[in-house]
Amino acid sequence: MAAANLLDFDLEGMAAFCERLGEKRFRATQLFRWIHQKGAGDFAQMSDLAKSLRDKLAGAATIPPLRVISEHTSADGTVKWLFDVGAGDAIETVFIPEDDRGTLCISSQAGCAVGCRFCSTGHQGFSRNLSTGEIVAQLWHAEHALRKRSNTEDRVISNVVMMGMGEPLQNYAALVPALRIMLDDHGYGLSRRRVTVSTSGVVPMIERLRHDCPVALAVSLHAPDDTLRNDLVPINRKYPVAELLAACKRYLDTAPRDFITFEYCMLDGVNDSPTQAQALVTLLRRAQLPCKFNLIPFNPFPASGLLRSPRERVVAFAKTLQAAGFVTTIRKTRGDDIDAACGQLAGEVQDRTRVQQRLRRIPVITQPAAGA
């Protein structure tokens, strides 16, 4: 029997694994605490388990870390890791410190099949789904690396956003156990309100998530009508705006927050006009859907052929939404100097040579890749 990856298991899965080993189910809680709360990567560290059990575990299971290709820290404190997930695939994870919280932006897939026009992951295409263990290992690595760095045993990461590479709701089977591990009091103990799944709008899976594991929901809208959204976010051809908004409304029945966050990437001359802002107001008023807007300044990359909206237009767009009573924020770009901003996460991955060149140029603390 192949060794089990313990990072793949939610608490229920871990209990079932313990039973298969001929152990009591409560061992699962002990293992969870050692792995997720204390960051143990080795059974020898688990000092309150009998030596015989530790040996048994070592023969039957592993706690495999992700291989770090690089770790960069931006001048603003943002940290970006590039992890090797094998077969030429790399994924990125970004930590964004703020005064009152620490947010980790996690990837769910290597590449993405949705193919949004403004997203460099989308341009890269789909490679594969990440396993639960690979999704959780990003949090495991970041949390314990950051604790070590600031020499603390206190929790560093308070919020998780599934806004890295990939469409989380197209990797549903792996996502749900990963969310449960994040929420579990014996795991990372994160509040449901502080774990956000961001989706381009996979309607049937929004439906399932509200039953299986309701967490905060962000929806990448980017357009006020189907014609434009079909072009920018191709999954809209399958699940048009009206269906998406109806699914969002139903989601609120069980959601831990009483609003949906709409992300809207501001593209010069494409979706940023005053008429489009007004159309968005009309759309959401008609839908009677409690929501907030998060306007994201587009992070350009050459293959997109798109440009960032000028600041004045973003501000004007925000004012129209605010005047209509919608809470609207303009996302600060963080980690610009290390290309850690939204939609830039895949750029480096495509061309490893460029990564190497860039690593040498980066004027910030650069740590050598572990194991490289």
Task: Give the residue numbers marked as catalytic.
Answer: 92, 342
Q: Match 């007004």 to its residue by tokens.
A: 278
**Residue 169 CB, nearest distance to ligand SAH (Å)?**
8
Q: Among 72-80, 118-126, 245-253, 274-282, which window interacts with ligand SF4 (CB under 6 A)?
A: 118-126
Q: Tell me phi and psi for residue 187, to 5 degrees.
A: -100, -115
Among residues 135, 131, 255, the alpha carbon closest in space to that of 191 is found at: 255
Exactly one of 8, 23, 143, 167 binds ligand SF4 (CB under 6 A); that residue is 167
**Residue 93 CB, nearest distance to ligand SAH (Å)?**
13
Task: Tokens for 318, please give them.
Answer: 């925000």
The residues binding ligand SAH (CB under 6 A) are 118-119, 163, 167, 198-200, 220, 263, 265, 296, 298-299, 342-343
122 lies in the site for ligand SF4, by CB under 6 A: yes
Query: Do 269 and 308 form a contact (C-beta atoms < 8 A)?
Result: no
79, interface contact from ligand SAH, ligand SF4, none, CB < 5-8 Å by kind: none
244 lies in the site for ligand SF4, by CB under 6 A: no
Q: Which of 198/276 has CB closer to ligand SAH?
A: 198
Among residues 69, 74, 67, 66, the alpha carbon closest in space to that of 354 is found at: 69
Measured from each CB, the residue nearest to ligand SAH is: 343
Q: Which of 145/245 has CB closer to ligand SF4?
A: 245
Exactly one of 166, 187, 214, 224 binds ligand SF4 (CB under 6 A); that residue is 166
263, interface contact from ligand SAH, ligand SF4, none, CB < 5-8 Å by kind: ligand SAH
Q: Which of 161/181 has CB closer to ligand SAH?
A: 161
Task: Tokens for 50, please give them.
Answer: 């009998």
**Residue 167 CB, nearest distance to ligand SF4 (Å)?**
4
Q: Which of 112/228 has CB closer to ligand SF4?
A: 112
Which of left, alpha, beta for 335 (phi over 0: left; psi -120 to 50: alpha)?
Answer: left
Q: Which of 129/220 has CB closer to ligand SAH?
A: 220
82 lies in the site for ligand SF4, by CB under 6 A: no
Q: Among 36-44, 112-120, 242-250, 327-335, which window interacts with ligand SF4 (CB under 6 A)?
A: 112-120
Cα–Cα dist 18/318, whole Å = 53
Q: Match 């992300």 to its residue by tokens.
A: 263
Query: Do 177 and 212 form a contact (C-beta atoms < 8 A)?
Result: no
**Residue 157 CB, nearest distance to ligand SF4 (Å)?**
21
3-class SS of residue 311: helix
DSSP characters for 238-271?
TS-HHHHHHHHHHHTTT-SSSSEEEEEEEBTTTT
Exactly one of 11, 119, 197, 338 binds ligand SF4 (CB under 6 A); that residue is 119
309 lies in the site for ligand SF4, by CB under 6 A: no
Among residues 198, 235, 237, the alpha carbon closest in space to that of 219 is found at: 198
Q: Which of 119/209 has CB closer to ligand SF4?
A: 119
Q: Tell me phi and psi for residue 108, to 5 degrees.
A: -115, -15
Exactly one of 110, 116, 146, 247 binds ligand SF4 (CB under 6 A); that residue is 116
Exactly one of 70, 73, 121, 344 binds ligand SF4 (CB under 6 A); that residue is 121
Among residues 16, 58, 182, the alpha carbon closest in space to that of 108 is found at: 182
Do strands 67-73 and 366-367 pair parallel, antiparallel, or not at all (unpaired)? Answer: antiparallel
Q: Which of 31/235 has CB closer to ligand SF4?
A: 235
DSSP characters for 33-82?
IIIIIT---SGGG-TTS-HHHHHHHHHHEE-PPPEEEEEEE-TTS-EEEE
What residues make contact with ligand SF4 under the rule CB under 6 A? 112, 114-116, 119, 121-122, 166-167, 200, 220
